[in-house]
Amino acid sequence: MPYLFPRPDLTDAVEEAEQVVVVECNATGQFADVLEHDTLERVDRVNKYNGVGFKADELAEEITEVLQ
């Protein structure tokens, strides 16, 4: 089934990246799932789902952990 709103093709950008980190404020990581489905590449995820947005220092810490 075609999408109502076509998405840009991010395959080249994801394949060329050393590592892709997707930050989402939800429990299931829906955008990361779509990105993995469309590009057939794994991405790292930083999710928060307690109803409060990320603070800058918290986000920096989470991303640093993922990148190590």
What pLDDT, in 10s, does the model give residues 26-45? 999 999 999 999 999 999 99
pTM: 0.83
- Please list the residues that pair with 24 across neighbouring strands: 47
pLDDT tier for residue 2 given thresholds of 50, 70 and 90 = low
Given pLDDT bands bounded at 50, 70 and 90, which one contains residue 11?
very high
Helix/strand/coil for 37: helix
Residues 65 and 46: their CA atoms lie apart, in Å, by 10
Q: How confident is the model at residue 64 (pLDDT cuts 50, 70, 90)?
A: very high
Q: Which band of pLDDT confidence, cut at 50, 70 and 90, is reported for residue 17? A: very high
